[in-house]
Structure 1
């Protein structure tokens, strides 16, 4: 006997739809054994210029 699924296809469709409406392009969807849905972006975030204050404050 198998355990019931912790998520439904509608749950995934809703999550992906929300991500798209938020402006992100989904690249991959992962679902952990507990049913947590993780959506990874299709693109990498753009590089950020280093802040010169990070050096002054010892963060770099």
Structure 2
């Protein structure tokens, strides 16, 4: 398999997160789809912001 160029680079993710923070969002999670180049930012307190462990809420 030949080497291919990355569809998403670290600078792209950094710019997206910095833009979200500048807009006033507190970022909880970032998902990157390498095939399509799609970057999804989940804000804290949103529906997609769960950490996947229900005990995190108990321990806070």
Question: Where do 4+ consecutive residues of structure 1 move more than 2 Å?
Answer: 1-4
Could you tell me which runs of 5 or more consecutive residues in structure 2 were left unpaired when the two chains were aligned: 48-60
Name the residue aligned to 2:8.
Answer: 7
Based on CA coordinates, which of the two structures has the bigger radius of gyration? 1
TM-score where L is the length of structure 1:
0.64
Any gaps of 5 or more consecutive residues in structure 1? 46-60
Count residues with an aligned counterpart. 45
Name the counterpart of 2:42.
40
